[in-house]
Amino acid sequence: MSKKEQPICTSCDSVTTVKHLLTECLLTKDARDKLMLPNNLCEILAPNTERTSSLLELLKETNLLQKI
């Protein structure tokens, strides 16, 4: 059994991972900055009501919500 190839981000030429999209990707950078999300994946995903709201807003603004 072979592994599927991981998708590559068309903007950054990096493997598209949750970490990449939420902390590194150029396509989400402006929205991350506007929403003041930290650059640390553990902090973004930690149980925090304010951050969860910002994360959902990021997913909406970048159309990632429709892709997951």
Residue 2 is assigned to a structural domain of this protein: no
Query: Taking the complete model, does pTM exceed 0.95, yes or no?
Result: no
10 to 26, 28, 44, 52, 64: CA distances (angstroms):
10, 13, 23, 26, 14
Domain count, the chain: 1
pLDDT, residue 2, reads: 56
- Look at residue 24 and tell me if it is in a domain: yes
Q: In terms of residue numbers, what domain contains 48?
A: 9-62
Q: What is the pLDDT of residues 9-68, one digit of tens each?
A: 989 999 999 999 999 999 999 999 999 999 999 999 999 888 999 999 999 999 988 777
